[in-house]
């Protein structure tokens, strides 16, 4: 099977760098894929470096990822980092199935290639679905936040433990219309009257007076007592934020949500295009294109792209969720 | 691992390594937020980053090396190809990071 590959790479045995044909002994397609991966590495490094720069410009008030990403599908309660760990596991598994597909491709075992390539596609789709769920939950919001005059976001706490705006206002967080109930709205069109923000703040402060066990955690992670919280909110609070968009988010600094959407979105776009490429190659494998060609190098090249996607996720996972 | 590649055992070996390192990182992250880690790891800094952050970065590079060398087969390619790909990454990425994060202090200055 390697003879067919050798024939595909015409070998000229002059010394490398003296005009010999194949100093790398790799095909044009593989070299070009590596070249593209290097450029993509630099792109993602630039994004992550920019994130590092912004994040360390606001070290005290930047959200703590273990406080933000505590959700898990179908489960209530707080499970910090567990869902992200699951997503990492899914992607690593899909990388493993990809290597197995490439391995069986070298041995020209078409059926095994189809099996493992299909499993890789399933893993990729699972990851995309998980990321979509994560985005949806991020946009919907978890605890709610209160914006203050210098554009910091503070959070509701109970003693030294983070609580949520919903707990303070006695609303069930997991009900479907929890945001509407919080704001006392009939539906999504009945908002944005004059003084809407101030009214929400007033309601919240009144509730704080009635429930002395609740207090505020400031943006710099310092907890205030109940009385200090009431004074602080009266002086500084501007509005209650629930959920997240590109302009404001309930977790902290505006840039946090911006970077989250951009970096995970850019990575998710790579995963999506990877899945599309995998499907195209799978169709070709089923049709027998590579059997006729005599080698499964295309599977290997797509595998390189897929491993790159996994590699980027490993770095995004570290720098966004752990550091 | 590279020389005698018969079978798939080496793939699963790397999988378990990646899995355990990731699990270890997640456990460290959870312990950090529950404040069950020794204080010097989280609060003492070296070159501007907490020691725990250095641990995360080293473990991540360790995982990345395994993925690139074994899954992407770069360890099995000709040495010239391997270094053609790795050297620019090793030089350019730290260089750009160094410039960006070092010179960024100007954003704190008010003109």
Q: Which residue of B has its CA nearest to A40?
A: B89
**In this complex, which of A52, A64, A82 lies closest to B101 when CB atoms are compared?**
A52
Q: Could you read off the pLDDT of A2-47 as tens digits, one per residue?
A: 667 666 565 556 665 665 567 788 888 899 999 999 999 999 999 9
**In this complex, which of A24, A308, A310 lies closest to B78 when CB atoms are compared?**
A24
Residues of chain A with C-beta less than 8 angstroms from the C-beta of B96: 42, 45-46, 49
Burial class of residue B103 (count of CB atoms within 10 Å of its CB; 0-12, 13-18, 19+): exposed
Q: Which of residues 85-104 of A touch B (CB under 8 A)?
A: 85, 88-89, 92-93, 95-96, 98-100, 102-103
**In this complex, which of A38, A92, A307 lies closest to B88 when CB atoms are compared?**
A38
Q: A196 or B24: which carries more pLDDT confidence?
A: B24
Q: In percent, how much of chain A has pLDDT > 90?
A: 38
Q: Could you read off the pLDDT of A267-312 as tens digits, one per residue?
A: 999 999 999 999 999 999 999 999 998 889 999 999 999 999 999 9
CATH number of A34-140+254-322: 1.20.120.80
Question: Cβ of B18 and A57 within 8 Å?
Answer: no
Q: What is the pLDDT of residue A7?
A: 60
Examine the pLDDT at A103 and tell me if it is beyond 80: yes
Question: Cβ of A25 and B93 within 8 Å?
Answer: no
**Domain ranges across chain B:** 1-76, 78-111
Q: Tokens 């919907």 sit at which residue?
A: A140
- The β-bridge partners of A223 are A217
A308 touching B, CB under 8 A? yes
Q: Could you read off the pLDDT of B17-66 as tens digits, one per residue?
A: 999 999 999 888 888 888 888 888 888 888 778 888 899 999 999 999 99
Q: Which residue of A has its CA nearest to B108?
A: A57
Examine the pLDDT at B111 and tell me if it is beyond 60: no
**In this complex, which of A42, A80, A314 lies closest to B63 when CB atoms are compared?**
A314
Residues of chain B with C-beta less than 8 angstroms from the C-beta of A57: 104, 107
Q: Which residue of A has its CA nearest to B82?
A: A24
Question: Cβ of B101 and A93 within 8 Å?
Answer: no
- Residues A154 and A289: their CA atoms lie apart, in Å, by 59
- Residues A61 and A135: their CA atoms lie apart, in Å, by 22
Q: Which residue of A has its CA nearest to B66?
A: A311
Question: Cβ of B71 and A95 within 8 Å?
Answer: yes
**Domain ranges across chain A:** 34-140+254-322, 145-241
Q: Could you read off the pLDDT of A237-250 as tens digits, one per residue?
A: 888 888 888 888 88
Which range among A107-116, A149-158, A180-189, A220-229 shows the weakest confidence by mean pLDDT?
A180-189
**What's B27's DSSP letter?**
H
Residues of chain A with C-beta less than 8 angstroms from the C-beta of B67: 95, 307, 310-311, 314
Structure tokens belonging to residue A40 = 């993509």
Q: What is the pLDDT of residue B2?
A: 46
Looking at residues A65-74, what average pLDDT do you find?
Answer: 85
In A62-173, alpha helices (H) = 65-68, 82-106, 110-140, 165-168
Examine the pLDDT at B78 and tell me if it is beyond 50: yes
List strand residue ranges (DSSP E) for chain A, in order. Answer: 145-148, 153-158, 161-162, 214-217, 237-241
Sign of CA dihedral A64, A66, A68, A69: positive
Mean pLDDT computed over every residue of chain A:
85
- Please choose, from the candidates A71, A57, A52, A50, the residue with its C-alpha nearest in 3D space to the C-alpha of residue A130: A71
pTM summary value: 0.87
- Residues A14 and A16: their CA atoms lie apart, in Å, by 6
């Amino acid at each position: 099977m390697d003879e067919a590959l050798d024939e595909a790479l015409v070998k000229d045995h002059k010394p490398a760098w003296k005009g010999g044909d194949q100093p790398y002994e790799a095909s044009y397609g593989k070299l070009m894929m590596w070249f593209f991966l290097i450029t993509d590495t630099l792109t993602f490094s630039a994004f992550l470096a920019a994130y590092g720069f912004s994040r360390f410009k606001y070290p005290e008030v930047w959200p703590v990822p273990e406080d933000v990403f505590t959700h898990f599908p179908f489960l209530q309660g707080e499970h910090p980092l567990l869902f992200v760990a699951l997503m990492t596991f899914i992607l690593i598994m899909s990388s493993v199935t990809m290597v197995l597909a490439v391995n069986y491709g070298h041995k020209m075992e078409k059926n095994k290639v189809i099996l493992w390539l299909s499993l890789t596609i399933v893993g990729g789709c699972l990851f995309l679905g998980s990321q979509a769920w994560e985005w949806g939950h991020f946009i919907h919001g978890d605890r709610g936040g209160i914006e203050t005059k210098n554009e910091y976001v503070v959070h509701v706490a109970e003693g030294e433990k983070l609580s949520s705006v919903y707990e303070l206002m006695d609303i069930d967080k997991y009900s479907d219309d929890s945001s509407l109930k919080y704001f006392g709205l009939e539906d999504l069109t009945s908002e944005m009257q004059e003084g809407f923000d101030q009214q929400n703040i007033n309601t919240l402060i009144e509730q704080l007076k009635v429930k002395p066990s609740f207090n505020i955690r400031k943006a710099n992670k310092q907890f205030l007592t109940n009385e200090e919280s009431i004074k602080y909110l009266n002086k500084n609070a501007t509005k209650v934020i629930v959920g997240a968009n590109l302009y404001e988010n309930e977790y902290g600094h505006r840039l946090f949500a911006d970077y989250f959407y951009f970096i995970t979105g850019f990575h998710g776009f790579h995963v999506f295009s990877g899945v599309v490429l995998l499907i195209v190659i799978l169709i070709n494998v089923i049709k027998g294109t590579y059997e006729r060609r005599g080698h499964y190098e295309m599977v290997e090249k797509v595998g390189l792209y897929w491993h790159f996607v996994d590699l980027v996720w490993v770095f995004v996972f570290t720098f966004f969720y752990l550091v | 691992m590279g020389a005698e590649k018969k079978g798939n055992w080496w793939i699963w070996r790397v999988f378990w390594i990646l899995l355990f390192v990731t699990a270890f990182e997640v456990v460290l992250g959870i312990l950090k937020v529950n404040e069950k880690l020794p204080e010097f790891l989280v609060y003492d800094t070296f070159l501007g980053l907490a020691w725990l952050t250095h641990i995360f970065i080293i473990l991540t590079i360790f995982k990345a090396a395994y993925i690139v060398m074994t899954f992407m087969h770069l360890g099995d390619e000709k040495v010239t190809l391997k270094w053609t790909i790795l050297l620019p990454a090793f030089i350019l990425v730290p260089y750009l990071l160094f410039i960006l994060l070092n010179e960024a202090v100007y954003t704190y200055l008010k003109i």
